[in-house]
Structures are given as structure tokens and as C-alpha cells.
Chain A
Amino acid sequence: MPGSWYLVVAALLFGLGTFGVLTRRNVIVMFMSVELMLNAVNLTFVTYARMLNDVGGQIAVFFVLVVAAAEVVVGLGIIVAIFRHRATITVDDISSLKG
């Protein structure tokens, strides 16, 4: 299987994730879509590492995973806090940043 196929899959996954973030209203689903985008990026990293014979890409994946884990912790914390406060996790109802 040529490496470019992996890249195509990664691009499709990234676009799917982006689409999910933009269209879904539920914060948790948006969150999951973000994870999907991150994994698409990870796939790209691994593919390029194989193609270029460089472990740098593989190492980058670990960093992304670590950051994603940390993000989940913080993000879920915020989501729980918002839910407690406003009893909703629909993003369109949360517009305190309005100018």
C-alpha cells in the first residue's frame, strides 16, 4: 500500500473532524471531532516518518497524544463546570464572548 493512501485517509479524517466541529452543537461531540482531527494529524506524522525514515514524526505523535490527554482533562472540566452552571452543553446557548 503506497504511503500516499495513508495521507489521503488522514486528509479525509481531518476534513470530517473539521466538519464535525463546525456543524455539531453538542460540545462533547465537537470535542470528539477535535480528537478526530488530532488523530488525522497523528496519522500524517507516522506516515511521513515511515516515508522519510525519520523517527521525529513518531516522537511528535507522542507529544500530540500527551497534549490531547491534557486537553481532554481541562476541556471536560470546563464542560462539566458549564453544565453545572447553565444546565446545557449546546454551544449556541453559550455566547458570553459576544462583543
Chain B
Amino acid sequence: MVVLGLVIGFPLVGFLILLAFGKRMGDPGAGWFGTIAVASSFIAAIATWIVLLTKHGSHRTQVLHLFSWFHAGAFQVNFAFRADPLSVVMILFVTGVAALIHLYSIGYMKRDARFHQFFIYLNLFVFSMLVLVTANNLPLTFLGWEGVGACSYWLISFWFERPSAASAGKKAFIINRIGDMGFMLGTFLVFLNFHSVSYSTVLPEAHRLPTGTAEAIALLFFLAAAGKSAQLPLFTWLLDAMEGPTPVSALIHAATMVTAGVYLMARLAPILSLAHAASFTIAIIGVITAFVAAMAATSQTDIKKIVAFSTVSQLGYMMLGIGTGAYVAAIFLMVTHAFYKALIFLSSGSVIHSLDNEQSIRRMGALAKLMPITAWTMIIAWLSIAGVPPFSGFFSKGSILEDAFGRNEVLWVVGVVTALLTAYYMGRLVFVVFYGNARWQEVTHGHEPHESPRVMTIPLIVLAVAAAIAGLLNLPYSGLRFLHDWLSPVFGSALVNYPLSTSEKILLPATDAVVALLGVFLAWRLWRSHSERKALEPTVLFKGWYVDTFYDRTFARGGTALAKLGDRVVDPTIIDGAVGGVAWTFRWIGGLGRKVQSGLVRSYLLIMIAGIVVILTYVLVGAAR
């Protein structure tokens, strides 16, 4: 399994070399170097996959043991990485999409003052994510988990000259700490029950777990996943994360950080499958998140915020899949989402790039003719995310909705309504940005926007092809269910099967297709020649349901008030009182001693002689006894 080591090793070495020599490589050398590091990792990932393909059954889980990290008593943690069908799927699309984003960044970040630094962070980000997905035990997963958290902080606040970017980075970091608490408590609980934190030990024995404990573990890890994967109520950081450069948004949203929560849940599927109540809770939270975020996305005017809400919404779908036991469907959606979401972000980035960092869709429009590649790739991404057949989203979202239907019809209804909204808000984006009137004159001072350089358009084209055909990975009701066959051994009995009648097998996909086309049609009717429709963009949605405002009013202001109370009351009286009191006491005792130190030799002598008399008396009396 040395080849797995290479997958992780290439970005690490890339990071270290860039750290040492990145500045000298400069622009664009450092960018090309970072890209090659990740591309090599992608090739190694393919090799890992081929190695596993040649094996059968349980031999498809292989562990690369490097060294013992720490152990205390019965508690032992190894630096061990795991190649199994699930982690191989992850490393394939993480490195693949990340390599394309690296390539794109060479164009996007051109002439940025800290060009090489950007690639240092990117490589470290990819390395952390690979540690996260290939780790063979919970603490090592947590190491990667925190690694992507730290990198996201650096990357979101990459343009830290802007106060908003600096605070967005902090916000992402802090909100994720809430989830991390769940991760740690969950790990402790796992250790208490299994006396091990290694997946190789825990997962095969998960079935011994008492139901109550399984529910608790599932909910704790879901708290962690809700932080990373931006579920209700912890999604607000993801919107602020748009302050980072667009390739960062693409990387975080498509291939790395936010998928980590879904991956973690899938990894722990054997435990989750025992926790029925927790699973159902996850499904409900997932579908509500999907709906709420999709509603908010319909009213945003910042192009990246639309896409960010769309990510939250899609992650909600994935959690819905996890919660209904449709782990393969969730991973399937994650893979296709990686393609089309990366594509949407990079296309948006291409637009933003050509309009001198303008992000408001109100100042775009009519760009399709000027930027044909960007426009067409964006349209493919739109049709994919909308679920228009035969694009990939139709199959991946469809399989999630099918299982939701099998679990509970209400989940399905909300899911379908969200699908309609998805097709609609993405259509709104496409029509307002690429069609209608040109409204960018004041941004570009009359110059015409131009298509992005080839280093940026090539990743767009590659991703567009992937987004269009990725449905082939798992075609329903056919022998061509590669992903399902490949992943089934990992999930085993955890995977839930909802039998559908023949009519349902036709009606459900048909509904999906009709709904998607309806959304597309609505967007076309309402937005093809408008850039603004106040009635369809209520403030409550524009403000993201006031969740952020609520946090600001309660936690942020509450915390500030508490701090002020401490500053004005607790600190001056209690703390200063205690500290001052201690000083005063010792000064008083010292004052007593000071009086003896008169400087008069005779009084010293008197004390000395008195002391001698006392000691002599004591000794003599003692001797007499």
C-alpha cells in the first residue's frame, strides 16, 4: 500500500517545498509546482484504485501502518492510513477536482502579491483532507479534520487586509469548534465502548453496541458533521466564507472541507445503522437544511452567496441520504456535486475575474456572447445541479429522493420542492448573469469583459464533461451501478434497501425530471429579461432567514455584554480586590517585622541575649528532667 502513502505524500512534499522555496519560484512557477504535486497525487490515487480493483472482498481494505503515534495504557493510536472502497472514491475525486482547481488558480490568482503563499495553503489543504479521508482511526481523522479547519481559516481570510475577510475566517474557525466538541465527545464514547479508536477494530464490532449508546455516538458525530458540512443551525460560516478567493470557495465547497462531515457519517455507517432515532433526526435536519438554504438562495444578489446557499442545500440532501441509510446515494451525490459545484464556482470566478472582482449579479448581464466557454460550462453545471436528465444530478439526487420516499413521504415532498427551487435559483443566476441587459459598464468603465485565459477555461471544460456524464457511475435499475457495487462491501448490512413497486420506479424519476424542467421553465419565464423582482426576493430570504442576525443578537451581543460585566464589575472588585488584598496582607505582616529592624545595635543585642536565655532555659530545664 505504498502507493497510498504517495497519494498523501505528494501534497505534503509539495507543501514543504513551496514553504521553503515558493517565494523564489514566484508567479507562476509556484502555482505550476503546486498543481503538479496534486496532479501526481491524483495519479497515485488512480494507482491505489487499480490495486484494490485487482483484489476481492475483504482484501479491498488495506492498511498502511507508519508508526505508533502515542499510547497510554490500553489506549493506542497509530499513524495508519486505510485504503478501502470508500476512501478510494474520496481520494479520487478530492485529488482530481483539487488538481483542476489548482490549475485554475494559476490564472485566477495571477499577479496577486502573495501568489506563492496561496499555493502553500492549497497544498496543505489537500494534504489535510487526504489525511482526513484515509485515516484509519478517529484521532487521525480528527487531525485532518482540524487541518482542513486551519487551512480554511487561512484561505478564507487570505485577503486579510479587508476586515470582512479577516472576520469571516475567524467565524469559520469558531463555529467549527462547536462541532469539534461533538467529534471529541463521540471519540471518547467510542473508546469507552470498544477500548479502541481504530476503524479496523470498531467498525466490524459496531453491532455489539447498545442502541442508546449508538444513538448518542451518532448524534455527537452529527454535531461535528453539522459544523463542517454546514447543516442547520451551524451553516452561517459558509456564507461568510465567500470572502476568500473564488478557487478557495470551490475547493472548500466541492471537494474538501464541507464534504468531510458527510464522509465521516458514511464512515461510521455501521454505528449509524443501529441508531434509528438519530438517523431519522439527521434525515429531518438534512431535508430542512436543504429547503431553508434553497429558499435563501432564491433571493441573494451576490453571485457567490447564491452558490454558497446552494452548497448548504446540496449538503442537506447528502445528510438526508445519510439519515435514510442511503449511504451510497449520499456518496454518489457528493461525487457528482464535487464536479458541478466546483464548476459553478470556477465559472462564477471566471465572471468575477473578468469584471474586476464584481460579485453583484445586478451589475452583470449579457455575458454569454462575450464569455461563451464560461457561459456554456455554467449552463451545463446548472442543468446538472437542477437534475435535468441525463445530466449527473438527475441520477444522484434522484436516488437520494427515492430512498427518502421509501423512508417517509414527507421527507420526499420537501426534497422534491427543494429540487424545484434548486433548478429555479440556479436558472435565475444563469439568466441574470449571462442574458438580459448588459449592466457592467460602470464596473468595467465601458470596456467589454473578455473570456478568461486558457489555464482557467480548461478546468472548466474538463469539469463540465465530468458533471454531464458522472451519472454513468451509478445508473439506477440497471447492471451499470458501479458505485453501488463498489461501495456495498464497505457499508454491508448498514445499507438500507427500500423496495419500490414498478410504478414507483417510473413515477419517481419522472417526477424528478418534470420538477427540474419546471424549475428551469420558471427561471426562464421570470428572469430572462429582468435583473430584479422585489416581490420574489423578500428581505427575510435575502438575509438568510435572519439566522446570522439572531446569532449576533444573542450569542455575540450576549458575549459582549458578559465581557463588559466582567470588565466593569468582576475585574475591578473581585479580581483586583483579591489581588490587592493579598498584597496588602503581606505588607501588613512585613510592617510588623519592620518595627523590629530599628537599626539600633543594642536592641538587636537585647533580642539576641533574650533568645539565648530562652534557649538555655529550655535546654537546662530539659536536662533537669
**Taking beta carbons and an 8 Å cutoff, which residues of A are in contact with B?**
18, 21-23, 25, 30, 91-92, 94-99
Which residue of the partner chain, among A22, A23, A98, contacts B599 with CB atoms under 8 Å?
A: A98
Q: Is B71 an interface residue (CB 8 A)?
A: no
If A18-B609, A21-B605, A22-B605 touch, does A95 touch B594 (CB 8 Å cutoff)? no
Contacts of B601 in A (CB 8 A): 91, 94, 97
- B503 contacts chain A at the CB level, 8 A cutoff: no
Complex Cα spacing A98 to B598, Å? 5
A95 touches B593 (CB 8 A): no
Instruction: Evaluate contact between B593 and A99: CB separation under 8 angstroms.
Output: yes
- In the bound complex, residues from chain A placing their C-beta under 8 Å from that of B594 are 99
B605 near A95 with CB under 8 A, answer: no
Does B600 belong to the interface (CB within 8 Å)? yes
Among B596, B602, B606, B609, contact of A91 (Cβ-Cβ < 8 Å) = B602
Ranked 7 nearest A-B pairs via Cβ: A99-B597, A95-B599, A98-B599, A97-B599, A99-B594, A91-B601, A22-B606
Interface of B is mostly: helix
Q: Using CB atoms, name the residue of chain B closest to A98.
A: B599
Cα–Cα, bound, A68→B32 (Å): 92
Q: How far is the CA of A18 from the CA of B596 in the complex (A)?
A: 20
Residues facing A in B575-625 (CB within 8 A) are 593-594, 596-602, 604-606, 609
Asked if A96 contacts B605 (CB within 8 A), the reply is no
Chain B hits for A92, CB < 8 A: 600, 602
**Closest residue of B by beta carbon distance from A25:** B602
> In the assembly, what is the distance between CA of A99 and CA of B599, in Å?
7
Which residues of B are found within 8 Å of A25, using beta-carbon distances?
602
Is B597's CB under 8 angstroms from A98's CB? yes
Closest to B609 in A: A18
User: Please, how many angstroms separate the alpha-carbon atoms of A99 and B594 in the complex?
Assistant: 6
Asked if A96 contacts B602 (CB within 8 A), the reply is: no
A12 CB to nearest B CB, Å: 16
CB distance from A60 to the nearest CB of B (A): 20
B604 neighbours in A (Cβ, 8 Å): 97
Given A30-B602, A91-B602, A95-B599, 9 more A-B residue pairs with CB atoms under 8 Å apart are: A18-B609, A21-B602, A22-B602, A91-B600, A92-B602, A96-B599, A97-B604, A98-B599, A99-B599
Residues B597 and A97 in contact, CB atoms below 8 Å apart: yes
Evaluate contact between A95 and B609: CB separation under 8 angstroms. Answer: no
Bound together, the chains give a CA A92 to CA B606 distance in angstroms of 14
Nearest CB in chain B to that of A99: its residue: B597
Contacts of A97 in B (CB 8 A): 597, 599, 601, 604
A22 to B606, CA, bound (A): 7
Chain B: interface size category: 10 to 19
A21 partner residues in chain B, CB cutoff 8 A: 602, 605
Least Cβ–Cβ distance between A99 and chain B, in angstroms: 3
B599 CB contacts on chain A under 8 angstroms = 94-99
A21 nearest in chain B by CB position:
B605
A64 to B: closest C-beta gap in Å: 18
Name 22 interchain pairs, CB-CB below 8 A, sorted by A: A18-B609, A21-B602, A21-B605, A22-B602, A22-B605, A22-B609, A25-B602, A91-B600, A91-B601, A91-B602, A92-B600, A92-B602, A94-B599, A95-B599, A96-B599, A97-B601, A97-B604, A98-B599, A99-B593, A99-B596, A99-B597, A99-B599
CB proximity of B560 to chain A, nearest CB, Å: 49
Q: Which residues in A have their C-beta under 8 angstroms from that of B609?
A: 18, 22
Query: Which residues of B are found within 8 Å of A94, using beta-carbon distances?
Result: 599, 601
Question: From residue 428 to 471 of chain B, which have CB atoms closer than 8 A to chain A?
Answer: none
Find the A residue at minimum CB distance from B593: A99
A96 to B600, CA, bound (A): 8
Task: For the complex, give the distance between the alpha carbons of A98 and B599 in Å.
Answer: 4
Query: What is the minimal beta-carbon distance from B542 to any residue of chain A, in angstroms?
Result: 74
CB distance from B606 to the nearest CB of A (A): 6
Residue from B594, B599, B604 with most neighbouring chain A CB atoms (10 Å): B599
Identify the closest chain A residue to B604 (Cβ): A97
Q: How far is the CA of A95 from the CA of B601 in the complex (A)?
A: 8
Q: How far is the CB of B172 from chain A (nearest CB, A)?
A: 60
Give A21 to B609 CA distance when docked, in angstroms: 11
CB distance from A84 to the nearest CB of B (A): 19
Q: Could you say which residues of chain B place their CB within 8 Å of the CB of A30?
A: 602
Are A95 and B602 also in contact (CB < 8 A) when A18-B609, A22-B609 are? no
- B602: chain A residues at CB < 8 Å are 21-23, 25, 30, 91-92
Task: Chain B residues near A96: list those with CB within 8 A.
Answer: 599
CA distance A97 to B594 in the complex (A): 11
In the complex, the answer to whether B606 meets A95 with C-beta atoms within 8 Å is no
- Smallest Cβ distance from B7 to chain A, in angstroms? 73
Cβ-closest chain B residue relative to A96: B599
Complex Cα distance, B596 from A78, in Å, reads 24
CB distance from B146 to the nearest CB of A (A): 56
Q: CA of A94 to CA of B598 in the docked complex: distance in angstroms?
A: 10
Bound complex: CA of A91 vs CA of B606, how far in Å? Answer: 14
| Closest chain A CB from B586 CB (angstroms) | 15
Cα–Cα distance between A18 and B593 once the two chains are bound (Å): 25
Residue of A nearest to B590 (CB): A99
State the Cβ distance, A89 to closest chain B Cβ, in Å.
Answer: 12
CA distance A18 to B597 in the complex (A): 21
Question: How far is it, in angstroms, between the C-alpha of A91 and the C-alpha of B605 when the chains are bound?
Answer: 12
- Whose C-beta in chain B lies nearest to the C-beta of A24? B602
A25 to B601, CA, bound (A): 10
- Closest chain A residue, CB of each to CB of B601: A91
Whole-angstrom distance between the Cβ of A85 and the nearest chain B Cβ: 16
Among B601, B605, B606, chain A packs the most CB atoms within 10 A around the CB of: B601
With a cutoff of 8 Å between Cβ atoms, the chain A residues found around residue B596 in the complex are 99
Provide the B73-94 mask, 1 if CB < 8 A to any CB of A, else 0.
Answer: 0000000000000000000000
